[in-house]
C-alpha cells in the first residue's frame, strides 16, 4: 500500500521479485444490481440481487494475469477510504505487488454503478475519482518496476497523459506494450499507436478511433488496417460473439478468428478474458507474435 505519493510494500515482506507484467491503470469499486431487464429512462424497477465487487479495466487485467500465473504489479491510485483499503487488500490476496499502489485524500476511490439483466447485458456509469489523480510523477517513481517487466499493460481509465507516459517508459526500456484504448477517444495522440506492440480494442472503440462503421469481420478488417497504418505492431479488434480480427506489420492481411457460441452471463469484463491471455503470450514474446496469439483456445475469448 502507498500513501499519496509514497511507494508501499511488495507482495510479501520477504519478496523482492521483479514483476513480469506491470499494469498501469484503474481500480473501480463495482456496485452491481441484478435485474430481470434494464430500466427505461426515468423508470424505477426492482432488482433481485446486489453486491459490491472489485473492478476497473486496469485491475481486472492485472488480477486475470496473476490468476493465469504471471507475477504482476499494479500501478494505480485509490482513495484513502474504506473502498480503497479494501481494494488494496484484494490486490494483495491475489498476489499482486502493491508497491506502487497509491492512496490519496483528494478524491474517493473510483466507483462503477452497474445494472445487469437476465441476458447478461448491462448499463454502467463510472466515477473515476482517484484514478484521474495517478500522474506522471507517480509513474517516474514506478519506472524501476516498469523498466524491468516483460510486458506493460495500460488503458484509458486514467488520464491519457499518464497512460502515454507509461508507454514511453516501457518502450524506451525495451518492454513489450499492450494497450487497450478504452474508453476510446476520437483524437487519440498518435504516439499511442507507435508505442503499442499490441493494440487491442472492441468494435465500438474501433469505430470511434477510425470513423469507420464496424458491423462485421470485414468492416473490422478495414478498421484494423487503418490502425496498423498509424504505427501499431499488432492490431486486434474483438467482435463479441463473432470472435476477433487481427493483423500485424509482418502479416498485414486481416484474419478473422471465429469463436464458439456461448450464453452471455455478464458482458461487463468480456474483453479481459480475451486480452489477458495476450499478457502471458506477451511475456513469452518470441520472433512471431501473431501465430502464438492465434493458438489461444476459443474458451479464452
Residue 68 to residues 120, 254, 283, Cα–Cα distance (Å): 24, 28, 12
Q: Return d(Cα 93, Cα 210) in angstroms, integer.
A: 40
Q: Return d(Cα 152, Cα 186) in angstroms, integer.
A: 23
Residue 51 buriedness (CB in 10 A; 0-12 / 13-18 / 19+): exposed
Q: Return d(Cα 237, Cα 189) in angstroms, integer.
A: 19
Please report, in range form, the residues annotated as the binding site for K(+): 266, 268, 284
Residue pair 125/102 in contact (Cβ under 8 Å)? The answer is no
Please report, in range form, the residues annotated as the binding site for ATP: 202, 238-243, 259
Rg of the chain's alpha carbons, rounded to an integer? Answer: 19
Residue 292 buriedness (CB in 10 A; 0-12 / 13-18 / 19+): middle
Please report, in range form, the residues annotated as the binding site for substrate: 28-30, 56-60, 157
Q: Return d(Cα 153, Cα 166) in angstroms, integer.
A: 9
Question: Could you identify the residue written with the cell 463495482?
Answer: 30
Residue pair 161/136 in contact (Cβ under 8 Å)? The answer is yes
Please report, in range form, the residues annotated as the binding site: 28-30, 56-60, 157, 202, 238-243, 259, 266, 268, 284
Residue pair 222/235 in contact (Cβ under 8 Å)? The answer is no
Residue 155 to residues 38, 179, 227, Cα–Cα distance (Å): 27, 6, 16
Q: Return d(Cα 218, Cα 138) in angstroms, integer.
A: 41
Q: Return d(Cα 177, Cα 242) in angstroms, integer.
A: 26
Amino acid at each position: 500500500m502507498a500513501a499519496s505519493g509514497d511507494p508501499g510494500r511488495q507482495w510479501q515482506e520477504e519478496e523482492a521479485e521483479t514483476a513480469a507484467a506491470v499494469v498501469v491503470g484503474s481500480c473501480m469499486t463495482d456496485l452491481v444490481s441484478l435485474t430481470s431487464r434494464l430500466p427505461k429512462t426515468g423508470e424505477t424497477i426492482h432488482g433481485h440481487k446486489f453486491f459490491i465487487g472489485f473492478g476497473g479495466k486496469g485491475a481486472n487485467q492485472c488480477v486475470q494475469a496473476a490468476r493465469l500465473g504471471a507475477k504482476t504489479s499494479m500501478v494505480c491510485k485509490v482513495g484513502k477510504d474504506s473502498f480503497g483499503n479494501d481494494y488494496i487488500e484484494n490486490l494483495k490476496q491475489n498476489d499482486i505487488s502493491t508497491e506502487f499502489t497509491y492512496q490519496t485524500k483528494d478524491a474517493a476511490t473510483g466507483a462503477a454503478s452497474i445494472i445487469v439483466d437476465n441476458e447478461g447485458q448491462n448499463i454502467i456509469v463510472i466515477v473515476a475519482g482517484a484514478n484521474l489523480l495517478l500522474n506522471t510523477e507517480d509513474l517516474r517513481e514506478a519506472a524501476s518496476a516498469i523498466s524491468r517487466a516483460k510486458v506493460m499493460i495500460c488503458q484509458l481509465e486514467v488520464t491519457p497523459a499518464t497512460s502515454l507516459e507509461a508507454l514511453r517508459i516501457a518502450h524506451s526500456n525495451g518492454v513489450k506494450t499492450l494497450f487497450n484504448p478504452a474508453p476510446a477517444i476520437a483524437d487519440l495522440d498518435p504516439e499511442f499507436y507507435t508505442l503499442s506492440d499490441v493494440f487491442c480494442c472492441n468494435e465500438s472503440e474501433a469505430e470511434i478511433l477510425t470513423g469507420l462503421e464496424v458491423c462485421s469481420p470485414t468492416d473490422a478488417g478495414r478498421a484494423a488496417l487503418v490502425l496498423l497504418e498509424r504505427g501499431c505492431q499488432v492490431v486486434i479488434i474483438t467482435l463479441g460473439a463473432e470472435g476477433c480480427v487481427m493483423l500485424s506489420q509482418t502479416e498485414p492481411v486481416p484474419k478473422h478468428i471465429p469463436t464458439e457460441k456461448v450464453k452471455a452471463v455478464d458482458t461487463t469484463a468480456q474483453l479481459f478474458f480475451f486480452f489477458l491471455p495476450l499478457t502471458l503470450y506477451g511475456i513469452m514474446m518470441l520472433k512471431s507474435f501473431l501465430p502464438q496469439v492465434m493458438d489461444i483456445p476459443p474458451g479464452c475469448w
